[in-house]
Chain A
């Protein structure tokens, strides 16, 4: 693709959300949220907090605010996500994927996708928090990690992270996670997951 001479690294939508972020949580102390989720780690370069208000009869998100420490893609994706979910039923919001957010932004450079995946995680954490607080713990879907490589103790979550971090084939996956380096039994399942996550985050496998 020919790049415009002055083109930004990001799409106009990313730029807009980054420069004019919507729904920032301005006054943390006095905001009365119905659910709050915090994910990420400053040490890794990003950390996000999302808070929501919920119409308890209709089960619809009526307000969503956030704070994000991170790069332009992280800031833009939380901003875009917050706009998407206001007015959305909880159930639907629960299933928003990073790909939906990226699509909303008109795409992100491949190496920046991992900066955007925390948004929907933070949102789910906030919704789970709401369920917990309102006596619906059965609705909380546990995102429990499953061990794929027994020898090296590598989970499906780690495989997903490796894909987001740039692993595109089995060799690169091994380099990042060390899975499959002992008995090799996990190879087929690992490759299956690799393809699944590639599809999930980057479209065509």
Chain B
């Protein structure tokens, strides 16, 4: 088969949807400041509010419950940082949040993990829920962890590395029953499965533009009506005073179009991806010995397949695949220069030496069954080549 160029790293980021590109080109003309009263400003304001409506209907929220922010990371930082809101100085009227405890999980995105660590240093107590071998949290552990001191629980909807999907509806039921605020990071789930804030019954929910074929540098935070809130970025009336700074008009226009386009194709896309993932999984399982698949076998994002290879290191696999034209990612530490392998794989009990040899394939709208065939052809010889020079692999036979 001829060499192909294949992008299979859609959980890292996605290319712009053609409809988004078109909207962005038109949006480039909107240079007015959305806060200005003149016609230039009003035009920009109109486009922003139209996008807000689209994002709101994408997650079944009211438009005034949607705040545009700079990224999914910013949205997550905003939510967690409310817990150290300095009650005496801040005018947000949110006094009783300060100093309360946060409960989150051990497999969150780094922007939750790092922020939690930082908050802990500043005196906010943090509890981390464990996960089972598939990456699922335990509801009993959750219920037992919540105390009178708990101010917020944050559990991601779908994991970026292994694709495991949590039962957010049940999680939020347990949390809200105890009168505690609940946040979910839905950055990876959105656009790959239905996300309905009313059905999930959450207080906060995070979205990102570039994971759903929208532009980078734009995200959205859902805040349920009446929920206490304290901004992370202050000093402006924008976004109802909840996120200061002149709006990223172009980004917002792009994100509005992205959710609209994605909403239409999501179901068919997910079905297609699931078929492709199954073919890939079966094909690899049949052609590569000592392979292990990580994450939940069924409650998992349709586009995500994470696997570990005995005796082959992740960065080496990634670079050989790249040489063959296939772009994937690894949970291997070495690729990032740290010595610790993926905290997610370790939390799910993948042995350290296998976590070093893990690869994530994340499919997107551009991928076809032909790509899967190609990958199935180039992958096994690569693993064999790496294992042949590996001091940590002996074929059992």
Q: Tell me the smallest distance from the CB of A98 to a CB of chain B, in Å.
A: 16
* Chain B positions near chain A (C-beta within 8 angstroms): 311-316, 319-320, 323, 332-335, 337, 339, 341, 352-353, 356, 388-393
Smallest Cβ-Cβ distance to B337: which chain A residue: A111
Can you list 13 A-B pairs, Cβ within 8 angstroms, ordered by A?
A: A18-B316, A19-B320, A42-B352, A42-B356, A45-B333, A45-B356, A48-B391, A66-B389, A68-B389, A69-B311, A72-B315, A75-B316, A111-B337
Taking a contact as CB atoms closer than 8 A, the residue among B315, B391, B393 that contacts A71 in the complex is B315
A interface SS class: mixed
Q: What is the minimal beta-carbon distance from A107 to any residue of chain B, in angstroms? A: 15
The answer to whether A70 touches B313, judged by C-beta atoms less than 8 angstroms apart, is yes
A38 within 8 A of B: yes
* A47 touching B389, Cβ below 8 Å: no
Residues A69 and B391 in contact, CB atoms below 8 Å apart: yes
Given pairs A43-B352, A69-B392, A74-B313, 9 additional interface contacts (CB within 8 A): A19-B320, A21-B389, A44-B339, A45-B333, A67-B391, A70-B313, A70-B334, A71-B332, A72-B316
Which residues from chain A sit less than 8 Å from chain B, CB to CB?
18-19, 21, 24, 26, 38, 42-49, 66-72, 74-75, 109, 111-112, 114-115, 165-166
- Docked complex Cα distance between A109 and B334 (Å): 12
Once the chains bind, are A68 and B323 in contact (CB under 8 Å)?
Answer: no
**Nearest neighbor of B394 in chain A, beta-carbon distance:** A28
**A46 contacts across to B, CB distance below 8 A:** 313, 334
Residue of chain A at shortest CB distance from B385 = A21
B313 contact set on A, CB distance < 8 A: 45-46, 69-71, 74
Say which residue of A42, A67, A71, A112 sits within 8 Å of B389 (CB atoms): A67
Q: Which residue of B319, B323, B339 is within 8 Å of A45 (Cβ)?
A: B339
> Which 3 residue pairs across A and B have the least CB separation, nearest first?
A111-B337, A69-B392, A71-B334
B337, A112: Cβ atoms under 8 Å?
yes
A42-B353, A44-B339, A70-B334 are known contacts. Are A49 and B391 too (CB-CB below 8 A)? yes
